[in-house]
Structure 1
Amino acid sequence: MEGFHKKRPGINKSQLIIGRQPIIEAIQSGRPIDKILFQRNVSGDAIGTIRQLAREQNIPIQQVPPEKLQSFTKANHQGTIAIAGLVQYMDLQQVIDHVMGNGETPLFVILDGITDVRNIGAIARSAVCCGAQAIIIPDKGVGALNEEALKSSAGALERINICRVNSLMKAVDTLHLNGIKVFATEMTASKMLYELDYTEPCCLVMGNEENGVFPALMKICDEKIKIPMAGSFESFNVSVATGIVLYEAMKSRMGNRK
């Protein structure tokens, strides 16, 4: 279909970093990178350097056919293009240290398999409104934090810490080591959301509407909770569900103030 690749929603030309050395310099300068695209079978010392830097910064890498890169630019891309991010990604442990160092009680959100950027934006908006300090996302399998996500968040994605990790399982381990309990939403859970103590350091895990939270991740969570519903409809939208639980946490914490 003619013109099929000409428009890429949420990505503008200013986000493209084209060529090997510009990508290396962008990563080393601390510029946020959403992902790096490599042409299949590309090789060279600079490619090895980019791979190493990407591993260190948890930047996703995709192997793509030449046509994919050409759909982004006609310039000499040297077999690789990076897409710059619109938000700055933070280190999870540093965020935990900062929040606790400020005397705050951590309230974080983990997003597992949520790909709709409008949902991500709406979740970020609720998180900021309810006093959450961070959103934790995996480096793969989550919607891009692009212009549409920022617009849906009404700027909230720029006001909350975004921690990108290469493993949500390891992220939960880090939270546990810092005394932060992890609560997962699950439709068949026996405990209601209002039965938890949100005044302690905690993190909410929200899964996508089709599959829920990944079973292995669910298994290592401290509690499973469900949101009561009046009818027999399947479920809440994930951004609405997140807002409900976050509001319950905020209400609990505000009621605990002396």
Structure 2
Amino acid sequence: MKSFRQQPQSRPKKSSLVIGRQKVISALKEGKQLERIYLVQTVHGPEIEEVKKLAALHQVPINKVPVEKLNGFNITDHEGCVALVAKIQYQDLQDVLSHVVEKGESPLLLILDGVTDIRNIGAIARTAYCCGVHAILIPDKGVGALNEDAILTSAGALEKIAVCRVNSLMKAVDTLHLNGIRVFASEMTAETSIFDCDFRDPAAIIMGSEEKGIYPALMKTADTVFRIPMAGKFESLNVSVAAGMILYESMKQRMQS
């Protein structure tokens, strides 16, 4: 089943924007959490290079866009550079893991690879929070913006659950392995059934996009690849529905242990 057709996103409020090159540089230097930076494709110069350098340092994604994109924000003094203030507070992965272990709990994490539809992300976050997931991991590129629309779709769950934005999901998996966390990947052609997986111990589950699935190199890092059995032959499940099935199975196991 293909993902939903992308719907137009609402225009961000001016109060949620950092407008202009120097203001964006200052925000980055001050450590202000930014969702992403928009740079007009044709802009260049020392200030733009500094924006790129600082954005890479703080793992803030940059989108190269036509000038019409920024003009569509109903602003004119942008100098080809606008940042969107993050609506949620991203957390460090190792800090989250340490906190969970200190509480005496078994970590359960969800990794989203290439999931771009904000309604799917919101729905996944809502189910994840209800099922006891400790954190959602997303890459700093190739993921839908966690903006007001995403938070609304999640019914506020994105403001309650820890979200870790990383510059490499593969490096994040290395961190998980170093912390004794077993990594599972959902793939419809896998031989192992979800019912044969043990989610009671520390676990992280990778979910890929409906169209491309999990990136092959990332798939190879998984300790176990499993499938969700289906009675009828069909192309695939919606990613948020599949995540719900997997997370409720993990919650059931943990409640019964």
Aligned to 1:69: 70
TM-score, length of structure 1 as denominator length: 0.91
Query: Which 10-residue stretch deviates more, 198-207 or 66-75?
Result: 66-75
My pick for the range that moved more, 244-253 or 9-18, is 9-18
Q: Deviations along 1:5-52, whole A, 9 cap, x unmatched?
A: xx8526232221101222123233433211112233434443333222
How many positions carry a matched residue from both structures? 250
Task: Tell me the distance in 2 between the aligned counterparts of 1:106 and 1:165.
Answer: 18
Partner residue, 1:4: none
For structure 2, which runs of at least 5 residues remain unmatched after alignment?
Answer: 1-7
The equivalences for 1:64-103 within 5 A come to 64-103=65-104
Q: Deviations over 1:175-196 (max 9, x none)?
A: 1111111100000111111211
Q: Which one is further off, 199-208 or 84-93?
A: 84-93
1:173-212 correspondence runs (5 A)? 173-212=174-213
Partner of 1:60: 61
Q: Residues 183 and 204 of structure 2 are in contact (CA less than 8 Å); yes or no, is this contact kept in structure 1?
A: yes
Alpha-carbon contact 1:10-1:147 (below 8 Å) kept: no
4+ runs deviating over 6 angstroms = none
What is the SS of the residue equivalent to 1:200? coil
The amino acid that maps onto 2:57 is: E
CA contact (8 A) 1:10 1:146 kept: no
CA RMSD between the two structures: 1.7
8 Å Cα contact 1:10-1:148 kept in structure 2: no
Percentage of identical aligned residues: 55
- Distance in 1 (CA, whole Å) between partners of 2:200 and 2:38 is 43
How far is 1:113 from its partner?
Answer: 0.8
CA distance in 2, matches of 1:206, 1:64: 28
Q: 1:217-239: per-residue Cα shift (whole Å, max 9, x none)? A: 11111000111112112222111
Moved more, 230-239 or 45-54: 45-54
Aligned-partner Cα distance in 1 for 2:162–2:75 = 35
Contact 2:137–2:163 (CA<8 Å) still a contact in 1?
A: yes
CA distance in 2 between counterparts of 1:240 and 1:32 reads 30
Q: Where does 1:208-227 land on structure 2 (aligned, <5 Å)? A: 208-227=209-228
Task: Report the residue type matching 2:229 in the other structure.
Answer: P
Output the amino acid matched with 1:51: K
Q: Which residue of 1 aligns with 2:250?
A: 249
TM-score, normalised by the number of residues in structure 2 = 0.91
Aligned residue type for 1:143: G
CA contact (8 A) 2:12 2:73 kept: no
Unpaired segments ≥5 residues, structure 1: 1-6
Which deviations, in whole Å up to 9, do the C-alpha atoms of 1:104-132 show, x marking residues without a partner?
Answer: 11100000111111110110011111100
Pair 1:114-2:115 in alignment: yes
Whether contact under 8 Å (2:39, 2:80) holds in the other structure is: yes
SS where residue 39 of structure 2 aligns? strand
